[in-house]
Structure 1
Amino acid sequence: MTRHIFSAKATIPTTMEKMLAYHAHPRALQRLTPLPVVVQMIRDTRTSPQAGEVEFVLWFGPIPTRWHVRHEAGPIETSFADRMLSGPMKYWHHQHIFREADGGIALTDQIEYEYLDKGFWALFGRAALAPVMLRILFAYRHWQTRRGTAIKSA
């Protein structure tokens, strides 16, 4: 099979401090996951966005999809990545990259992924994590990030 690359970019009108804090929050995944998908945390050993492991279940209605990911350093200091150790994909590596930019913080989500070859989870992954679904998901995530990191005026 083939590995695919998905990338979503947005400039968020916030500070680096707020952006990093938002993504370090223990409930960041729940905040960034749109209904009707529900996140059930099983185990979270993260000591920072760049270190530790998380096991969780994403409930797509009645269908539970268990993920086990390792959080690690990303390509620059103000970034992190999550790498799937087990779950509904053959390969999943998601980089969250934050850079200072005019108007706030440039947020880049870049995912390298590969679907399973056969079986139910192969079909499920191709449906639930198809490129169009990823575009919708990351439009929602960037909207939630804007809301969650907004700079309140005095």
Structure 2
Amino acid sequence: MTIFESTSEVPLGAETTFDWHARPGALTRLSPHWAQEIVEESYPPIAPGSVAQVKTSVPGTYGLVRRPFSSVHSEGPSRFSFVDELKKGPLSQWKHTHEFTSVAGGTKIDDHIEFSMAPQGSTSSTGASLTTSRPPSTPAASGCSWISTSSNPRMRPC
């Protein structure tokens, strides 16, 4: 299993930041077009048992080859957190914990991803390898950043 962690800070309260992620369309707003295509967001978006379905880019294909990936949401370890876990996709395991913690001046966002790649030698229907040493793309790792107005916090497009 591989672990990928990322931390960022935003100038908004933890509740506001968590609520932004819980609003309809959050997955679409967070997803760079080259990393994945949103097939279906559930409503409410991060409620326990809700499912998100995307077509994620196979590493090294620059978005030309995409594989179905669905994850189911559950409660996280703290009040302002949630987890999405692999339901179906090209990986053998994926568990992404999102935690939002109040800090001086805003919120610290911690992303903790545990994943295992597909078995060695696995290929897509086009023959592209599905194994890589790089973690899957995440907004925090892709250079996205927050833009904040008093009533409309949002991510800067990736």
TM-score by length of 1: 0.78
Q: Which residue of 2 aligns with 1:120?
A: 123
Count of residues in correspondence between the two structures: 142
Distance 1:140 1:69 in 2: 20
Match among 81, 84, 92 for residue 82 of structure 1: 84
Distance 1:27 1:141 in 2: 20
Q: Identify the range of structure 1 (114-123 vs 71-80) with the bigger mean alpha-carbon deviation.
A: 114-123
> 1:82 deviation in Å?
0.2
Conserved? CA contact 1:33–1:141, under 8 Å: no
Conserved? CA contact 2:92–2:115, under 8 Å: yes
Which structure 2 residue ranges, 5 or more long, are not aligned? 152-158
Distance 1:125 1:27 in 2: 30
Kindly tell me: are residues 141 and 73 of structure 1, through their superposed partners in 2, closer, same or farther at Cα, counting changes over 3 Å? farther
Conserved? CA contact 1:67–1:87, under 8 Å: yes
State the AA in 2 paired with 1:25.
R
Kindly tell me: are residues 75 and 95 of structure 1, through their superposed partners in 2, closer, same or farther at Cα, counting changes over 3 Å? same
TM-score by length of 2: 0.76
Distance 1:125 1:50 in 2: 31
Q: Could you list the per-position Cα deviations for residues 24-73 of structure 1 after superposition, in whole angstroms to 9, with x for gaps in the alignment?
A: 1222122112232342324x444351321122223563322111110000
Distance 2:22 2:66 in 1: 25
Which structure 1 residue ranges, 5 or more long, are not aligned? none
Q: Could you list the per-position Cα deviations for residues 77-133 of structure 1 after superposition, in whole angstroms to 9, with x for gaps in the alignment?
A: 110000011101110000000011111001000000000113115933416xx14x6
Conserved? CA contact 1:46–1:54, under 8 Å: no
Q: Which runs of 4+ in 1 moved over 4 A?
A: none
Q: Secondary structure at the match of 1:31?
A: helix
